[in-house]
Structure 1
């Protein structure tokens, strides 16, 4: 950010005249106080992986494109790792990523748990897992959400794929002990990140990762048991030189939560080769060759959760890759579940942040003369207005609040970045500075 903490027939039919060809998700339930604890869902059952995007929740476009808005239409949420627009087929050298303090948490061969080591990660991992070099490095950025992180790690422990390492990029203000994992083949490295910001944490992970392929998910997601296997099969195909992304479905609402932003469960594989009016790379479910990502400049540290533009870091990366001629391949079998744990009020704040990040993303490229991004900004404003009208007609106040929050954030982020010229680069702080 940019992930994301992703109905009834009569509602869909009623809105068909307002937005032909689109389906809607119904508003979820809200608690009496409208709040949920920020790092612990109200219930802890594993949400079904087959949960449909038609479950109760805020107004969400169910076309394939990623939708940061709570309504119908196209704009996603999310700018360049080095602050430069890539010319087609020309990928600049990566910008340096500052070394951070790191520690390794790997499974003790004699006990069901982790033990911390300050040895070099490659030495420790090779000794305990029997894998000299992992084939996939999974990067998970987290901050003060240990309960959600535990669920994500648990889902990874069910994987039948051996030869992966998991990097937990921890920006929490307090030290947390990782829960014991259930699969002796899962090697988890715990990297402490002094600087706040999801993009800064992911860039640290890109530097520290040892595998030739990097996979990304969020701490409030649960991956399918075959998630790593699907990535490995695709990565092993001859001539692979693209980014991978996959299906993101919303988990069932936990307690009084509303449904997380989600996508339609599209079952057709697609390859995107040029930018369009939709964002197709999903930060909570993507994989990319490590060398390709490093050459592309990694993530823009002025975008994403923990910054003043708290979204769109993955949308920006996807846009830069497509501009450079790097295809993005959508695999329907590469599936994660985005847990629905936020209350209605928290969801409104989330959409406001989506809007700010997306507006900053647009402004960053528009300032460089990118007319496509200026057109996308205009299209996003139009779509938000249409979605707001539809929510008002249907009397869906949760959707009205969320859509209005996204639209106001979109305009605010765009104007601020245009006027200041920093494209959201201020605002990232260290843990020490934040107290």
Structure 2
């Protein structure tokens, strides 16, 4: 007999945390579920960390192809009518699936339900009790709200999705190594109403380290490609909403400019911010800051102790 829920955990070199993630999935009060861990070519002992769970989980192995390919492998192997994703370094509270299943049972027309998340440090310390207390909390058709957001509104570890939804959204985009979550949730919210539980039923781990300049530029380029593709796919809808498109591009360039500024890519940041410098005083001031002489820009990035 097939389980109600398939839990998909992609894991790449996750030996440090993956057992904790699996334990949090096994500890769910909603017991009618299977747990699939997709080992995406790990070389650090991830597979050994999973051995103690024996037959309580299914471990799928594949050559390293990236997190989206790992999630798609899990989707193809899943037997449940509902799909939940859990990143290998995140944790679930015991009632997560039970509360989400109850919400979808009460609203059969909804395609998915997501929750808030607490932010934790690498060592498990609580950093923030809720990822965003003012995050969208209304149920329903939330596509435009999702679309306006500069980043993905939903953390993947918080969402439970009806399996048939993937027939309309498609699987995750494997062309790119990162940031395609957002376009997936655009498609999900385009086709289905989505519910939200404003409880931090997930502990989302914030690990140290920052993106390189090249990674920041790559992610911005990916997001821009995905945005242009989605605008083209839904051309008629957006043709009737030019203001929404303008707002989206302003938001995109402002967010890209901020990311490039923090990465020290001042010329690229200046080009992005030039397009939106009149949107707000903050945008104008940041654009002006990118025009400072190089020595002042470098000093801006030094710590107070170094100045």
TM-score norm. by structure 1 comes to 0.51
Contact 1:351-1:403 within 8 A present in 2 as well = no
Shift of 1:356: 3.8
Shift of 1:138: 0.7
SS class of match (1:284) = helix
Structure 2 segments unaligned to the other structure (5+ residues): 273-307
1:162-241 correspondence to structure 2 within 5 Å: 162-174=31-43, 176-179=47-50, 187-194=56-63, 196-241=65-110
Contact 1:248-1:263 within 8 A present in 2 as well = yes
* Structure 1 CA distance for aligned equivalents of residues 144 and 227 of structure 2: 13
Contact 1:270-1:331 within 8 A present in 2 as well = no
**CA 1:280–1:267: 2 relative to 1, 3 Å:** closer
* Structure 2 CA distance for aligned equivalents of residues 151 and 358 of structure 1: 31
Shift of 1:136: 0.9
* Structure 2 CA distance for aligned equivalents of residues 377 and 270 of structure 1: 25
Contact 2:165-2:188 within 8 A present in 1 as well = no
Aligned residue in 2 for 1:331: 197
Shift of 1:194: 3.3
Shift of 1:212: 0.8
Aligned residue in 2 for 1:283: 156
SS class of match (1:271) = coil
**CA 1:238–1:246: 2 relative to 1, 3 Å:** closer
**CA 1:248–1:402: 2 relative to 1, 3 Å:** farther
1:381 pairs with 2:246: no
TM-score norm. by structure 2 comes to 0.69
1:74-89 correspondence to structure 2 within 5 Å: none
Shift of 1:299: 1.6
**CA 1:353–1:137: 2 relative to 1, 3 Å:** farther
Shift of 1:353: 5.4
| Residues 20-55 of structure 1 deviation map (CA, whole Å, 9 limit, x = unaligned) | xxxxxxxxxxxxxxxxxxxxxxxxxxxxxxxxxxxx
* Structure 2 CA distance for aligned equivalents of residues 203 and 384 of structure 1: 28
Number of aligned pairs? Answer: 255
**CA 1:148–1:347: 2 relative to 1, 3 Å:** farther
Contact 2:220-2:256 within 8 A present in 1 as well = no
* Structure 2 CA distance for aligned equivalents of residues 360 and 353 of structure 1: 11
* Structure 1 CA distance for aligned equivalents of residues 216 and 52 of structure 2: 33
Aligned residue in 1 for 2:185: 318
1:320-399 correspondence to structure 2 within 5 Å: 320-324=187-191, 326-333=192-199, 335-343=201-209, 345-346=210-211, 354-368=219-233, 369=235, 375-385=247-257, 387=258
Contact 1:362-1:373 within 8 A present in 2 as well = no
**CA 1:238–1:339: 2 relative to 1, 3 Å:** closer
Range with greater deviation from structure 2 (211-220 or 239-248): 239-248
Structure 1 segments unaligned to the other structure (5+ residues): 1-131, 389-398, 412-435
Aligned residue in 1 for 2:262: 401
* Structure 1 CA distance for aligned equivalents of residues 265 and 112 of structure 2: 33
| Residues 124-167 of structure 1 deviation map (CA, whole Å, 9 limit, x = unaligned) | xxxxxxxx321111111121222121221122233222111111
* Structure 1 CA distance for aligned equivalents of residues 112 and 263 of structure 2: 31
Higher relative contact order (CA 8 A, sep 6+): 1
**CA 1:316–1:173: 2 relative to 1, 3 Å:** same
**CA 1:402–1:154: 2 relative to 1, 3 Å:** farther
Query: Of Structure 1 and Structure 2, which has the larger fraction of its residues in helix?
Result: 2
Shift of 1:348: 7.2
1:42-53 correspondence to structure 2 within 5 Å: none
